[in-house]
Amino acid sequence: MKDMDPLVFLAVFQEMLGPLLWVMVLLAVGGVAAFVALMVREGGLASRRLVRAELLGLLGGGVALVIMAKVSSSGFTDAGGPADWFLIALVYGVGALGTTVLAYAAMGWMTKRPSA
């Protein structure tokens, strides 16, 4: 593969995840939009909410690894080289970050807005 074609990646992810791919894409886009709208509404981050969201993000990274193991044909014991371990760490990190953003946005929109 000489060139990196985004459509190839799309085809591979579609083959691996099926309809779950589009659910995850919609969840990611919606979560980022909710997070940005919350930042505009509140004008900054709430530290207590952020810490709670980060703790949930740790679990989300683990869930991302479980999903990766389910949709791929190999397990964690098949990881041989540094590239494999880098990919595993990347999947965990993206899962943790995504869960943190989604959890922060969900907690922010669920809490009652303080009256000024």
Helix (H) or strand (E) run with residue 18 in it:
none
Say what the pLDDT of residue 56 is.
97
Residue-level pLDDT at 55:
97
pLDDT band at 76 (very low <50, low <70, confident <90, very high): low
- Residue 99 is which amino acid? T
Residue 1 lies in a domain: no
State the total domains in the chain.
1
pLDDT of residue 35: 96
Q: Sign of dihedral through CA atoms 38, 42, 43, 45?
A: negative
* Of residues 81 and 38, more confidently modeled: 38
With the CA atoms of 75, 79, 83 and 85 taken in that order, what torsion angle do they form, in degrees rounded to the nearest 10?
80
Answer yes or no: is pLDDT of 47 > 70: yes
In a domain, 74, yes or no: yes
Q: Is residue 54 part of a domain?
A: yes
The better pLDDT of the pair 93, 10 is held by 93
Q: Once rounded to an integer, what is the mean pLDDT over residues 94-115?
A: 89
Taking the C-alpha atoms of residue 43 and residue 64, their distance in angstroms, rounded to an integer, is 30
pLDDT score recorded for residue 30: 95
Provide the residue count of the chain: 116
The reply to whether 116 falls in a domain is no
- Answer whether 0.85 is exceeded by the pTM: no
Above 60 in pLDDT, residue 116? Answer: no
* Residue 77 lies in domain: 6-110
Q: What is the pLDDT of residue 114?
A: 60
Answer whether residue 31 is part of any domain.
Answer: yes
Give the pLDDT score at 12.
80
Structural domain contains residue 62: yes
Is 115 among the domain residues?
no
- For residue 52, the model assigns a pLDDT of 96
Domain membership flag for residue 87: yes
